[in-house]
Structure 1
């Protein structure tokens, strides 16, 4: 196979996600040997191999900081940028390094871990628990509790001890509190009694009533969830989470309130919400679509954000935009149910890009490999040196 055909074949494999480590090295060597001063973009508008090659170089040049090195000197130290440009063109992933430290070599074991999926536990009013079906994506709370396809949650268990009347599933004689919780590596949806839809992210908990009585609709959240609040009822809808209370009537928003993170973030997609800090020092604020409130130690800040970054998990993606390595790896840690350990302190890296959450952990580790982060997986522990 001649060189041009060989490179075309490697690019095709890259786009298909079947490129091996050796082939990536070959593609990188080819990239580093090309004379970028002669590159111009084709004007045909077709997504040809030549156009892919040209776009690789243009993106690479935009990512390298001016003055760091002569642009013609692209040895393996530029691999993060090289791989970044190639993968961006392939529509898969790109990485931007914001550090001047020399990268270390990468070590990855043959061990692999599957991604998370539909996993959740329903806690009934009497304290008993139901492990929900992984074949289902969510449950509906009404006169009883069913999966989205109409099948019975209780019937799925085959356990006569789970009496619906005793557990508040079908009897509304008394308003009862229920709880939906997801483990690390789990996500689930729930349609609340008023029609509000909630997507629960990994390692999260939603506490809610079997029906909404009184002048308000109140739920409690620990972790992260996306809410699409029903407007059918005019009662205010409140979400109590770490450090705040969010008040709405009918809108769509995301709350990230993990106990192991210092900030509670509320990101508004549509409508408007009122954020009330739990600490007396804070004053209530109203945020608008495209804004995010950030609460830390009672201090409230509002920033304009790309909402897609903060709701991508609901759509099955990881999405990072100059995201610090530690924050990125917290998401990896929860989704793959692993522990992240830093042996030599937290690297000063930020990441920008997007990839699907249904890839295995080995695929995610390969992203670290492209940026030359020293990562090793052993016994469900991801070690960062």
Structure 2
């Protein structure tokens, strides 16, 4: 066996090759290119007769370089950078750091401690594609939320009537269509009901147009609000117009990407299992599938899947102390999706609702009960995926029938 440490950068990789005794056999810097990966394969072939004899450690599990290592048949371990940092401190307390030294640290780590880490999952290209789209979709949603906060601060500074008219959903098409026509308080107060009706129709509203137009007209025309100087109003109106256009573009891109994401998710072999779970629709299902991956060997137990999602509790026990806390080192995107699943499951599953209510009766907070429910549902999902069966309410909660009593 030989052990390879791969410290990666944007355009090159520092590589250290080590034997079973810890002796360094070779070091090299390889470019991030086809020529670079070929040079690495040639180097490793000098010391190993079979690809299975190569154990490699790197700090990421994604990217074309890692894909090439896995495709070559090497045993590739993705090591969390924090673990690498702690391992480095075990041997070098002076705080020195270099790419070459990090490559040696990674080689040493997989030589001695690889049993504490996991192999890079052999997910399908379809699952990888879903993950890329799901993450980008979520990034766009987060960006939209950030721009809503910006718009709220802008309107609060000079246009309080607009906040009363549109409430908290400042990215809604109604809000954007009206603010595009009337970015100042005076313009808003002069809008007629007919003009508002036209703006709402153009924005895409199809129901209750007249009633909504009258509500907005009344709110924008209300008196009693403080006013800002004209110069400041003009400046804020310009910034609001820019923010409105950004939100409009984000809304369009989110809808378009969500359509493509859902179409890709629906064609995946595991989609039916995810969609059979309570609280999981196409978008949440795509996020969970993308983050979990579809390698059937990736999670040995339901607990390992729960740990990765961050829903399982962590226990700190020392001496007489025993504390159970939430797990904060986790896949944040996956945890968000799991918590959304649990929240929606409260109205989609009698068993899930009874489980949650039972926890609340034990004086658990909403977040604690929601996290415990998410943990339970991920365990059920693991079983469904392992046995290739759809979710069944009775199978999932029948043994807990007393909870509903």
Taking structure 2 as the reference length, what is the TM-score of the superposition? 0.21
* Greater length-normalized contact order (CA 8 Å, ≥ 6 residues apart): 1
Taking structure 1 as the reference length, what is the TM-score of the superposition? 0.22
The structure in which a higher percent of residues are strand is 1
